[in-house]
């Protein structure tokens, strides 16, 4: 009977990205199956909800076709027995050394965590939902499955926010646990400082190496390290971090890291550390799409009690398309101007302020509109257009989109490159040249480009 379930799950596996397979499919277990009824176990409710929304319908369709009958589905929540055993050491080691800032048992939020960086203030959309759910799952069941969690992505996309949110949530559920937060830079500075102290005074009071190691290796139940790319090319600090990582990982303490690059792309990081970064789960935050940007603006406006019309939110979101930090910047700027002039945020004000903040193209076109139209015209997927695939089927539309972005917006070559999945500016320059040349030489290309361009120029 269980085989039917396994086969049905297998039938959808080829359609699921490997990372999603590990995160969403594998953890779901079929614990009972009898006449017309299935019982599944999910490690937690996020996993259950995601599974229900995204995979269950296709699996059930396959299963019911094989079994020639319908089934009702029921879930139970909780870790599988072996994963529960893995959590235990962390949960059981109740008395903790109390060397750092928050005394054990205190319910003050962990120091160094920004109050407003919580899960409930994080707006979820397609470009960050994977990282968000991974973060929630780690916060829900620290060190049981994904250790470390490695969050990466460009600036201003919510990595720090997620890291802090994990810290807040774990603190909420386990007020006596020690949640330690540091940036890569602080880790390095403190380490070098204690190293020098040790040399100078033969280990006196203050920042001794012993304090340092207590703080990072022994005390934490959870270690959150932001901007680990700072460890690049810092050999002695990396060595220390390697041992810190091992000590915590061995003791089943959760480690969460944020970085602007993937482990494989971090320059000057030893292989042994690089490989540890990939032991758990790697999750990316990407530039939010238009819908998410609108939702973020509306959420921020609500939190800050600023009246923002849909039209204004849409206009800001369409023009500030780089990252969330800039989006927030634009909103505060507007709110400040409005309150200074003692008037609401009118469209007039929005136009005036944004014209100063971002290079609004005369056409009002944005790279996203261009990408979307070009993708639709050539019938390719948007993510392929922005992705690394070099096949002609996507490479040609991509070059056309780059060419049109250069022509119709004020974006620079490096900016365009970054909006096409982080490509180098030289790639953009050669794409633009190539399309220019083709337009001159080949009437078919010329007419395609002209058609898309005239569609884009229509208001």
The contact set with ligand ADP (CB under 6 A) reads: 117, 121-123, 128, 153, 155-161, 296, 324-325, 328
H/E run at residue 236: helix 235-250
To ligand ADP, the closest distance from the beta carbon of 162 in angstroms equals 7
Question: What is the per-residue binding string for Mg ion in 120-159, x denoting contact by CB under 5 A?
Answer: ---------------------------------------x
E strands, 355-455, are none
Asked if 136 contacts 268 with a C-beta cutoff of 8 angstroms, the reply is: no
Distance CA 420, CA 375 (A): 13
* CA 183 – CA 227 distance, rounded (Å): 6
In 3D space, the residue among 360, 373, 265 whose CA is nearest the CA of residue 318 turns out to be 360
The distance of closest approach from Cβ of residue 157 to ligand ADP in the complex, given in angstroms and rounded to an integer, is 4
Measured from the CB of residue 230, what is the shortest distance to Mg ion in angstroms? 11
Question: For Mg ion, which is the closer residue by CB, 144 or 160?
Answer: 160
Do residues 401 and 420 touch, judged by C-beta distance below 8 A? Answer: yes
Q: How far is the CB of 226 from Mg ion (least distance, A)?
A: 6
Q: How far is the CB of 279 from Mg ion (least distance, A)?
A: 22
Identify what 149 binds: ligand ADP, Mg ion, none; CB under 5 to 8 Å per kind.
none
Closest to Mg ion by CB, 160 vs 323, is: 160
Closer Cβ to Mg ion, 24 or 119, answer by number: 119
Partner from ligand ADP, Mg ion, none binding residue 257, C-beta < 5-8 Å depending on class:
none
The nearest distance, CB 152 to ligand ADP, in angstroms, is: 9
Angle (nearest 5°) at CA 124 between 366 and 75: 145
Which of the listed partners (ligand ADP, Mg ion, none) does 155 bind, with a CB threshold of 5 to 8 Å by partner kind? Answer: ligand ADP
Contact flag: residue 183 with Mg ion (CB under 5 A): no
Quote the CA–CA distance of 455 and 459 in Å, as a whole number: 9
Contact between 75 and 41 (Cβ < 8 Å): yes
Q: For residue 115, which of 67, 150, 167 has the smallest C-alpha distance?
A: 167
Give which of Mg ion, ligand ADP, none residue 328 binds (C-beta under 5 to 8 Å, depending on kind): ligand ADP
Q: Which CB sits closer to ligand ADP, 135 or 157?
A: 157
Shortest CB 116 distance to ligand ADP, Å: 7
CB-wise, 5 or 181, nearer to ligand ADP?
A: 181
Which residues of 204-250 form beta strands (DSSP E)?
222-226
Per DSSP, 123 falls in state P
Q: Whole-number minimum distance, CB 155 to ligand ADP, in Å?
A: 4
Distance linking the first and last C-alpha atoms of the chain: 59
Q: Do residues 317 and 139 touch, judged by C-beta distance below 8 A? A: no
Among Mg ion, ligand ADP, none, residue 130 binds (CB under 5-8 Å by kind): none
> Exposure string (b/e) for 267-280, b if CB count within 10 Å is 16 or more?
eebeeebeebbeeb
212 contact, one of ligand ADP, Mg ion, none, CB 5-8 Å limit per kind? none
Give the nearer residue to Mg ion in terms of CB position, either 159 or 423. Answer: 159
Kindly tell me the burial class for residue 57, based on how many C-beta atoms sit within 10 Å of its own C-beta (0-12, 13-18, 19 or more).
exposed
For the beta carbon of residue 355, count every other beta carbon within 10 angstroms.
11
* CA trace torsion 60, 66, 68, 71 (10° rounding): -30
Asked if 366 is part of the footprint of Mg ion (rule: CB under 5 A), the reply reads: no
Shortest approach of ligand ADP to residue 159 CB, angstroms?
A: 3
Residue 178 interaction partner, one of Mg ion, ligand ADP, none, beta carbon < 5-8 Å per kind: none
Instruction: Compute the least distance from the CB of residue 32 to Mg ion, in Å.
Output: 45
CB atoms within 10 A of CB 113: 19
160 binds Mg ion (CB under 5 A): yes
Cβ-closest residue to ligand ADP?
Answer: 158
The smaller minimum CB distance to ligand ADP, of residues 121 and 407, is found at 121
* Residue closer to ligand ADP (CB basis): 154 or 387: 154
Using CB under 5 A, list all residues that contact Mg ion.
159-160
């Amino acid at each position: 009977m269980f085989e039917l379930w396994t086969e049905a799950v297998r039938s959808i596996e080829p359609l699921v990205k490997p990372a999603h397979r590990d995160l969403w499919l594998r953890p779901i277990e079929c614990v009972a199956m009898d006449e017309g009824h299935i019982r599944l176990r999910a490690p937690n409710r996020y996993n259950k909800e995601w599974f229900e929304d995204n995979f269950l319908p296709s699996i059930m369709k396959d299963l019911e076709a094989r079994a020639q009958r319908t089934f009702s589905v029921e879930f139970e929540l909780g870790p599988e027995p072996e994963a529960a055993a893995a959590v235990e050491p962390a949960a059981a080691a109740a008395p903790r050394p109390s060397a750092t800032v928050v005394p054990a048992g205190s319910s003050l939020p962990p120091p160094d965590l920004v109050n407003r960086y919580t899960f409930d203030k994080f707006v979820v959309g397609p470009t960050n939902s994977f990282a968000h759910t991974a973060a929630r799952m780690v916060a829900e069941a620290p060190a049981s499955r994904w250790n470390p969690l490695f969050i990466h992505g460009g600036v201003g996309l919510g990595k720090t926010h997620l890291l802090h949110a994990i810290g807040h949530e774990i603190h909420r559920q386990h007020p006596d646990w020690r949640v330690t937060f540091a940036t890569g830079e602080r880790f390095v500075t403190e380490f070098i400082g204690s190293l020098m102290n040790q040399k100078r005074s033969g280990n006196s009071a203050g920042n001794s190496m012993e304090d340092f190691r207590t703080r990072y290796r022994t005390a934490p139940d959870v270690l959150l390290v932001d901007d680990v790319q700072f460890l690049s090319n810092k050999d002695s600090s990396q060595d220390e971090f390697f041992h810190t990582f091992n000590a915590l990982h061995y003791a089943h303490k959760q480690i969460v890291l944020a970085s602007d690059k993937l482990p494989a792309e971090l320059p000057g990081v030893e292989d042994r550390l690089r490989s540890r970064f990939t032991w758990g789960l790697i999750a990316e935050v990407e530039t939010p799409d238009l819908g998410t940007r609108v939702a973020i603006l509306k959420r921020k406006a609500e939190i800050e009690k600023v009246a923002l019309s849909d039209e204004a939110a849409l206009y800001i979101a369409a023009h500030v398309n780089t990252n969330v930090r800039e989006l927030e910047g634009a909103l505060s700027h507007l709110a400040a101007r409005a309150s200074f002039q003692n008037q609401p945020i009118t469209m007039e004000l929005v136009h005036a302020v944004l014209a100063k903040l971002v290079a609004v193209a005369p056409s009002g076109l944005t790279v996203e509109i261009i990408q979307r139209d070009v993708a639709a015209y050539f019938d390719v997927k948007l993510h392929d257009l922005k992705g690394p695939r070099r096949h002609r089927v996507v490479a040609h539309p991509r070059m056309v989109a780059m060419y049109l972005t250069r022509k119709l917006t004020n974006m620079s070559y490096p900016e365009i490159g970054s909006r096409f999945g982080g490509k180098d500016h030289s790639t953009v320059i050669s794409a633009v040249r190539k399309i220019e040349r083709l337009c001159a030489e080949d009437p078919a290309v010329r007419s395609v480009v002209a058609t898309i361009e005239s569609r884009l120029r229509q208001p």
